[in-house]
Structure 1
Amino acid sequence: MKHTRLIFLVLVALLAPVAQRSAAAESSILPASVYPSSGQAGTRFDFLADGFQSGERIDIWVNTPDGRALPARPDSELQRRVARDGRAAWSWTAPKDAQSGNWSLVARGQRSGVVRVGVFTILPPPAPAAPDANAYPAVGRPGTRFVFFAAGFAPDDPIGFFLTAPGSEETLVAVEQPRIFNGRVDWAWTAPDNAAPGIWRFRVVGGNSRFEQTLAFTVERPAAAVGVNPGRGRAGSLFQFFADGLQGREGVIFWVNRPDGRAEKATVERVAVNDGRAEWSWIAPDDAPPGQWSMVVRGVNSGIERVVLFEIR
């Protein structure tokens, strides 16, 4: 089920804590709180996380929807310093040209190695406002019932409803409860359970007047579980992954994002995709550098992507 191209990187990860057992402080990967959880490019996102060492500094980077890992700067360099109680609070403002889709921001303690991950969504820019027309809700997941209205039509004008899904051709569709009164058209439409994430458009056309309105709305990618076992391991270790939310038994491709930001094709073993759930394993190269890694799986047909975070020590 498809919320724009995601490489996201819808970037939801299995965030499993790992106990600290020594002064060397093994890292644990847990979620950081994010507010707001979604916003358009240019939005300021506020993050809060705990479990770091008192007074240490944190490094942060973002994982983009297209699979890149990029260095990130907090809105103030002072925010890199952890408080005495091990809590860190920082903000990051998405660039004005930030790609829409699922993002994640990773914070890592420089001394402790503790990792915290905040997941959020960059929404697509709003469609140009149509005169006296609207969709509610503007954003919803597959299965959501959307309600629309558009005004400016001739009274009793026969109305045609044309729907465009992301990456698809426009199609004449039947809608729920269509009604026209005094030139205003009201109708509803329920997104299928397999609705592709991204921007959808309804074009409404008067059969006699030829007047038309176009309304845009967004179908979000549903939350999907991903995971890896173990959550951290040494170079040469076997990692076993899973990811839900793909389509059927479609073909999949894989790549990894290294700690240095490079993306590499991943040669995996024992791949199985059934009912939208992919399971596979991967052996880390013997020379794999230590640090935060992410594995990305992408459906060949659907374009759906899932991201799994793990660590090589």
Structure 2
Amino acid sequence: MIPCAGEGLRRRTVVMMLVLVTALVLVGLGAGVLPARGAEPVLEPDGLSGTVEPMQGPPGTVFAFRVMGLVPNERVGTWLVDPRGGQHDLEEQVFADGTGQASWTWAAPGDAYGGAWTMHGRSFATREEVIVSFVVEGEAIPHTRQASTMVLPDASGEPGTTFTFVARGEFQPWEQVGSWFIQPDGTRLDADQGISADGNGQIYRVWTAPMDAMEGDWVFRARGINTLFQVDIAFHIDRSGYTLPPVPGYEVAPARGPRGTVFWFRADGFVPGERVGMWLILPDGRRQDYRPREWMFADAERGEFVWEWTAPADAPTGSWTMAIRGVSSRVQWNIPFVIEDVVAAPTPVPQPALWVVPERAPRGSTFRFAVSGYLPGEKVFFWAVNPDGRPVPNHRELEADEQGAAAWEWTVEPDEPPGRWVMVSRGDVGRQEGQVTFEVTAPEGLPDAVRVEPARGTPSTTFHFFASGFSAREEVDIWLTGPHEEPRRFDVSFDVREDLRTDEQGQVWWSWTAPENVPGGTWQMTARGADSRVERVVVFGMVRETPLPLPYSVSPASGPPGTVFHFSAEDVPTARAAFWLTAPDGSVIPTDHTDFRERWTLTVGDDGVVAWDWTAPPDAQRGVWLMVLRNRSEDPALDWSRADDPEEWEHELARSAEARRDSVIEFREYVIRFTVE
């Protein structure tokens, strides 16, 4: 058969293509285009990426997640964010494999909210975060109900005002709700007791502003434990025209009396309406409840408590102490009084008689005691009780002579506190007690216990303190407790000494100058002996003629939608801070947690100052808004020079995690109030 011209053309075309392919292969081999035998292609990671299978499913679906681009073998932090913004941590730990990939699964529970969910994965090494979105099918979350809040009797009041906060929104019926207060300086004041929503999902909180409450804008914040629903209720404390209450104290009348005497007591300085506890300290140092299982409360207006106590017929004579302590304020007073043996005891059994010589002497002196009225040969124990009602341990014992008498000496140590002491004796057979009082004085008329000059001052005032009763030449620690009961350690500039140490008589003097930004109110300076553990508390008052300057600002304070509000804050303790807003209806912005880290995080300057702007959108709610700024904890820096060695890098990651656990971050929150008109 003779081929046609078209068939020949096709054959020539096929041959030319084969030749061309062969040439390309040879050229490619010569140029090294094909990889060498045994070589694996290397792909450079380009950030984190993630996938999910399936992307949508009903409750019960097992979603499989995968993240690429991680550091090989590193730990991965994982958590979920539901459609309403609630965060759910995963219990299992996730680690990347040798190729930098991590895989894990999550089964949507039967009661999972319907809607868009996000799975978050964070590299512990680079701190990068990947977000994978997926959908749980089902009933969507009902539309968020606007919060309804109210403050009674008014949203403004002076210290001592009792506020009632009411809120209703998305709290579940009977849900436990955490609550606290944010003070004008950004610090947090915890509430004494927890609260729960009622059957209608409504909460109430009754709170009395303390007498030393800061002036300015306060916020009551409540957050549901289960729903994470949060409301902020703004109110104001006004101190204009309010005078600082007098330095608290106590009274007792009469100060001395026989058995059967009705002693009248008064103590103040407590939070109005707070619960108080009381107990008695007997002359031998034992404690006795005043009224067991009975609650007592300070006056709701003046913060004082007045009560009576009748000395029973069998009360031992000697120096007694009535102690009273506020449960929330922790203010405590030890009120001394004496029960005298004026009326003969109803029992005909004779009591031991105890004498002392001298009856009054300075510390370091030797007192001589004699007692009679015990059985011949009976063992007699004795001990002293100091002015605070604390017995001084004594392991000595005596034996009564043929007349039932015994004698001994006792030397007062130089570091013992001055005041009215009691010596107690007790027989081993009849258990009969004898008591005698004697007075220990400070040498050369030095003041007793504690003193401060002046007792009240203003910012920049230099206060001079004195305390005694410590061991000789021992170190003494001191600290301040401010009006809001926050112990604050500080460096004290001493007049002479570089460190605080007592003299040979166990006495110590020091000074402190109040800074300009010190808040007004009742302060306590506490001194504690490092060896003796003796503690002395000096109460003094601080008066401010002008309100404490606020560490934040907003400009302008009000404006219509579209206004650019400029905010600033000072003394922010960390390098990063986050902010968010609370609208007039109580809702929190942003509601989308996925962009919170990027859009709502600020960098704080080295001087602790941060400034930022926010533009009110055209549809912004009219009313009072709250701009909230809260500093964020910073992770310890990683040493990236150790990343090349897998073993070294594992140790570095462990070190960083340990440092994060041990680090103590001071959290501070500022709540800035402004108005959209």
Which structure has the larger Rg over C-alpha atoms?
Answer: 2
More helix by share: 2
Greater share of strand: 1
State the TM-score, normalizing by the size of structure 1. 0.49
